[in-house]
Structure 1
């Protein structure tokens, strides 16, 4: 059995080294969601609706939403500092009470306690003391960085820790809607109800109860497996380097064609304009006065 943590139970001056083990397990049949078309598992990604992109783990921070869309951001350093203050793995029994005094609504989760090295004698002592007095210990402990209220009791020769909700974690029963007011029932109906309860009264045997839906679902799954009514998810196509290279070359060629220079006719027009401009400049050159003076001297 997996050990969750190692610590000590203390009551008075007695310290018992113990190990904590989960006493229960969730046996719900978990169904995956597949894409109906290709029978592949649906992938859930962490995305930001504002940035419209997938977010990496190092981009995520923790915050408390104190009002709609209003948050108080907490740094990892601040959280770790608080956790370090509550990492003492000791179970301090504060009071001893009768189990019947605690309403079942307060119970949350069960854990087995086993003695750690050198703790067997003190473990057996506490177990015997609880059995003889018929009481349980109310203690405080830290599990997974959360401070828990807990009850320590004996279950089939083993010490068990039952984590208990704090009073402010149990919702006010006055807030439950549509609860009828107390009214005197019809005596005949009440007597009949009591007779029915008497007929159905039995000694509690947990082995006689089972999750009918879970068993039926498991049987259905097994039948489908035996009848070969199964499916295999398609693996994601692995890109081929050669194909990628050809795609890249073809895309580059298409891009080059689109970015090809203007047709030759436009170039000729531009050249003609330039030549015309040059010719015009050469034509206007003889109008200068210098050639006239040279001609006068020659006639003389």
Structure 2
């Protein structure tokens, strides 16, 4: 399993060397956007609308738009300074609480924690202490220049760290439109609903739930592949330097002709020529 972060878990004066591993993975089936005419993958370029040219990564800076089209420019040095101050490579547990006290709306992403060199005893100590007390740890951690609130808990026999949203990241439920405060519910309707819930109540077995859409899509892709309903993207044409040069020369020549003005004969020469014709 890929290690994405190394650091320590600390609570009190106890420091436990750990490694962080992503506990979940995205199983979405990646579909590319192709040009309908030739089935070639479509490229997405970063283009400046003012300069009308493609912009490379080293030509970009970060900015915060504080009002329409007004930006505060942040240099890499500014961001690195803040990052160095905040990123101490530690999961610092600041409180212990009960899991049921945290509403699931706060939970974001899960990571497995494994002991790093010299951290086995401390890892087991924290795991057993959480198990015996029935508590979870509330911690702070900085990942990829962003500070996260997190909880450390036990899953099976493994410590898990789950990032959770800060309170100001959870939108106010009172702003949700058209939520009824109360309504008149017929007693029979309520009893029937409760009976249906009782009939469908069971123990949670995650293995029995599958992504039916993903399965159907994979089957469709495989059927088309076996039926040879496949398309090969055409290789993009390489620019012909000779043709490009000739085209550029012709355009330049045309442009020069357009700009060129007809030459006028000097007045004296024009009169002399007229006199000769009359003679």
**Do both proteins adopt the same fold according to a TM-score greater than 0.5, normalized to the shorter chain?**
yes
Cα distance in 1 for residues equivalent to 2:25 and 2:130: 26
Deviation at 1:212, TM superposition (A): 1.1
Secondary structure of 2:118's aligned partner: coil
- Does residue 142 (structure 1) correspond to residue 142 (structure 2)? The answer is yes
Counterpart mapping for 1:286-297 below 5 A: none
Cα distance in 1 for residues equivalent to 2:223 and 2:132: 51
Counterpart mapping for 1:61-210 below 5 A: 61-210=61-210
| Runs of 5+ consecutive residues of structure 1 not aligned to the other structure | 281-300
Deviation at 1:79, TM superposition (A): 1.0
Cα distance in 2 for residues equivalent to 1:67 and 1:251: 47
2:224 is aligned to 224
Cα deviation code 1:243-285 (max 9, x no counterpart): 557x4698499769969x999xx99x87x938949x99xxxxx
Secondary structure of 2:86's aligned partner: coil
1:233 is aligned to 233
Matched residue pairs, number?
274
1:8 is aligned to 8
Could you tell which deviates more after superposition, 210-219 or 48-57? Answer: 48-57
Bigger radius of gyration:
1
Cα deviation code 1:153-207 (max 9, x no counterpart): 0001000001010000000000000001123521111100000000000100011
- RMSD of aligned C-alpha atoms? 2.9
Deviation at 1:240, TM superposition (A): 4.2
Deviation at 1:75, TM superposition (A): 1.3
1:285 is aligned to none
Cα distance in 2 for residues equivalent to 1:37 and 1:54: 24
Secondary structure of 2:160's aligned partner: strand
Cα deviation code 1:25-75 (max 9, x no counterpart): 111112111111111111111112222222222222111122222222211
Cα distance in 1 for residues equivalent to 2:89 and 2:252: 68
Cα distance in 1 for residues equivalent to 2:261 and 2:204: 93
